[in-house]
């Protein structure tokens, strides 16, 4: 159920009105791939705009390799320079680069430092990431109450990942009292913003009867929305429904396609189910070679069923 952002940063500074639109059009014309994201983000948060954000945009050119050779070291240099001129976005990007080891060694404590600095300067993405640091104890002592506090700050700025994660906290009773209805409230807010994880979580709630009565048709509806939005968790659960005919007409072809989408995203459950269907020959005949390949990938992702399947197949040979 717990869902986290992927290791890809939001590549633009934040703002609140269109006050600086004309200024930044001139700058970002150098970055065709980033033009509309940067304009729209600056329009949202002009109150947090600083001169350093221009330097930060230059850093992002090197981070992405937009019009220049990709160079993480150069990006770090520019981001650090941008922080001297007050860019909260550059602070966020430095946190990201230290967290994932882009152009530097991974360093959770350094990532925490930059996320905290950026979060205190109002950057909603950093507020979310700082909450994750407190939630999992990355670079700082684990503190669930502080995790929830920073998720609320990010949620107040409309961050859908924070809204979804706040729902998770209520679902598991982490830093707050367990409350399924409150979890659903935040998931619905995130879902309204198109958050795929929140869509999947609502489907899960209907499937399990958490905060609502069990309703398989509603579960299928939300899983379908989430699967279309790219949620591997939803793709697997919807695939299982098609495999068993629970709430939908049984369709091995649809199940196979959904498991395939999840598997390609690296989801270990999707990889296991795909391997199992290939072993059983439910679509297109038996293919043990491919089944073993997917079982191995799932086992690498610590899927216990896949590990058992590999052991079983080894004994059969």
Least confident of 34-38, 191-195, 264-268: 34-38
Task: Quickly tell me which residue has 């939630």 as its tokens.
Answer: 135
Among the listed residues 10, 99, 14, 19, the one whose alpha carbon sits nearest the alpha carbon of residue 53? 14
Task: Quickly tell me which residue has 């598991």 as its tokens.
Answer: 172
Among the listed residues 151, 97, 104, the one whose alpha carbon sits nearest the alpha carbon of residue 129? 151
Per-residue pLDDT, 1: 57
Quickly state the pLDDT bin for 317 (edges 50, 70, 90): low
253-264 burial code (b ≥16 CB/10 A, e <16): ebbbebbbbbbe
The Cα–Cα gap between 93 and 201 comes to: 29
Among the listed residues 100, 16, 102, 13, the one whose alpha carbon sits nearest the alpha carbon of residue 52? 13
The Cα–Cα gap between 253 and 242 comes to: 9
Angle between helical axes of 232-244 and 196-208 (0-180°, round to 10): 40
Residue 115 has pLDDT above 80, yes or no: yes
The Cα–Cα gap between 133 and 1 comes to: 18
Quickly state the pLDDT bin for 66 (edges 50, 70, 90): very high
Per-residue pLDDT, 314: 86
The Cα–Cα gap between 244 and 273 comes to: 12
What is the pTM assigned to this prediction? 0.84
Q: Which domains does the chain have, with CATH numbers?
A: 1-127 (1.25.40.10), 158-230 (1.25.40.10), 231-317 (1.25.40.10)
At 283, give phi and psi (nearest 5°): -140, 115
| Token pair recorded at residue 260 | 């395939």
Per-residue pLDDT, 15: 34
Mean local confidence (pLDDT), 70-99: 97
Task: Quickly tell me which residue has 């882009």 as its tokens.
Answer: 102
Least confident of 11-25, 147-161, 225-239: 11-25
Largest Cα–Cα separation, the chain: 70
**Percent of the chain, pLDDT > 90?**
82
| Token pair recorded at residue 208 | 């399990």
Q: Is residue 273 within 8 Å of 279, Cβ to Cβ?
A: no
Quickly state the pLDDT bin for 48 (edges 50, 70, 90): low
At 143, give phi and psi (nearest 5°): -150, 100
The Cα–Cα gap between 299 and 146 comes to: 35
- The rounded radius of gyration (Å) of the Cα atoms in the chain is 22
**Percent of the chain, pLDDT > 70?**
84
């Amino acid at each position: 159920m717990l869902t986290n952002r992927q290791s890809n940063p939001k590549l633009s500074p934040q703002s609140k009105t269109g006050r600086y639109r004309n200024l930044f059009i001139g700058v970002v014309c150098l970055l065709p791939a980033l033009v509309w994201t940067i304009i729209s983000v600056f329009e949202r948060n002009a109150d947090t705009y600083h001169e350093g954000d221009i330097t930060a945009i230059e850093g992002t050119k090197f981070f992405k390799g937009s019009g220049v050779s990709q160079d993480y070291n150069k990006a770090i240099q520019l981001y650090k320079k941008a922080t001297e001129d007050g860019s909260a976005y550059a602070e966020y990007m430095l946190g990201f680069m230290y967290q994932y080891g882009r152009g530097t060694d991974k360093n959770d404590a350094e990532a925490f430092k930059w996320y905290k600095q950026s979060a205190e300067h109002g950057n909603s993405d950093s507020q979310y990431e700082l909450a994750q640091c407190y939630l999992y104890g990355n670079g700082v002592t684990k503190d669930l109450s502080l995790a929830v506090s920073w998720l609320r700050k990010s949620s107040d700025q409309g961050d859908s990942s924070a809204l979804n994660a706040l729902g998770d906290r209520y679902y598991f009773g982490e830093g707050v009292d367990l409350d399924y209805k409150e979890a659903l409230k935040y998931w619905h807010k995130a879902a309204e913003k198109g958050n795929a994880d929140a869509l999947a979580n609502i489907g899960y709630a209907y499937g399990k009867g958490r905060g609502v009565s069990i309703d398989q048709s509603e579960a299928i509806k939300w899983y379908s929305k989430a699967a279309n939005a790219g949620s591997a968790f939803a793709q697997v659960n919807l695939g299982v429904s098609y495999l068993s005919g629970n709430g939908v007409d049984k369709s091995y072809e649809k199940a196979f396609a959904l498991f395939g989408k999840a598997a390609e995203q690296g989801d270990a459950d999707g990889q296991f189910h795909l391997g199992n269907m290939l072993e059983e020959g439910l679509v297109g005949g038996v293919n043990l070679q491919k089944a073993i390949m997917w079982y191995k990938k799932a086992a690498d992702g610590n899927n216990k069923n896949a590990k058992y399947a590999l052991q079983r197949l080894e004994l059969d040979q």
